[in-house]
């Protein structure tokens, strides 16, 4: 999907870098011993509660404990992305266009990566470093809202995105796994 085919809000999240944080990205590293606990916490994140009166009762999903709280408590490392999470989405799934081979989606908010997949994804990302001319061409092709005067800043932002991903993926070792949380 081209960036210009996405809703303006998505593109604005990329354009406005910290001004409009319509999506926040957080990277977690957890010990392998927390793998089952993560899925148990995900499963128990909500409980069903009956509300209403007499025959007008209905089932409502109530937040028991947010999954991000479990991640904050259990993670070995936490890395908050400095820009809109939509930039991560654009970089990983549009620019690199091969991320699904490594990063497995759990739902619309969480993705998981094993140590082995992290190593392979790191090799793939390193094989596609940020080259200014390629990024300029990508930005001009994918998002016509960015003007020439904004290109130097966008190149810097893409380089920072690359550096953040390399840092996170490099931290995931043999006895750990990673979680990418995108909060919309």
Delimit the domains of the chain by residue range: 3-183
| Dihedral of alpha carbons 141, 87, 9, 132, sign | negative
Look at residue 8 and tell me whether its pLDDT is greater than 50: no
3-class DSSP assignment, residue 54: helix
Q: What's the pTM value of the predicted model, to 2 decimals?
A: 0.79
Comparing 1-5, 27-31, 137-141, 170-174, the range with the smallest average pLDDT is 1-5
The confidence band for 92, taking pLDDT boundaries of 50, 70 and 90, is confident
Other residues' Cβ atoms within 10 Å of the Cβ of residue 87? 24
pLDDT digits (tens, 9 = 90+) for 101-155: 788 999 889 999 999 999 999 999 999 888 899 888 888 887 667 888 888 898 9
> Is domain 3-183 annotated with CATH 3.40.50.2000?
no
């Amino acid at each position: 999907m081209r960036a210009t085919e996405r809703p303006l809000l998505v593109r604005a999240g990329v354009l406005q870098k910290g001004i409009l944080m319509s999506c926040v990205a957080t990277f977690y590293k957890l010990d392998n011993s927390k793998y089952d606990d993560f899925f148990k916490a995900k499963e128990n994140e909500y409980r069903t509660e009956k509300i209403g009166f007499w025959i007008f009762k209905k089932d409502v999903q109530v937040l028991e404990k947010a999954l991000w709280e479990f991640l904050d408590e259990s993670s070995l490392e936490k890395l908050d992305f400095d820009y809109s999470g939509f930039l991560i989405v654009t970089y990983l799934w549009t620019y690199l266009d091969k991320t699904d081979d490594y990063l497995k989606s759990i739902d619309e908010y969480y993705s998981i990566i094993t140590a082995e997949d992290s190593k392979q994804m790191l090799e793939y990302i390193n094989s596609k470093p940020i080259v200014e001319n390629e990024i300029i061409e990508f930005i001009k092709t994918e998002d016509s809202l960015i003007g020439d005067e904004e290109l130097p800043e966008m190149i810097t932002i893409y380089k920072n995105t690359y550096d953040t991903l390399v840092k996170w993926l490099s931290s995931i070792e043999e006895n750990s796994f990673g979680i990418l949380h995108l909060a919309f």
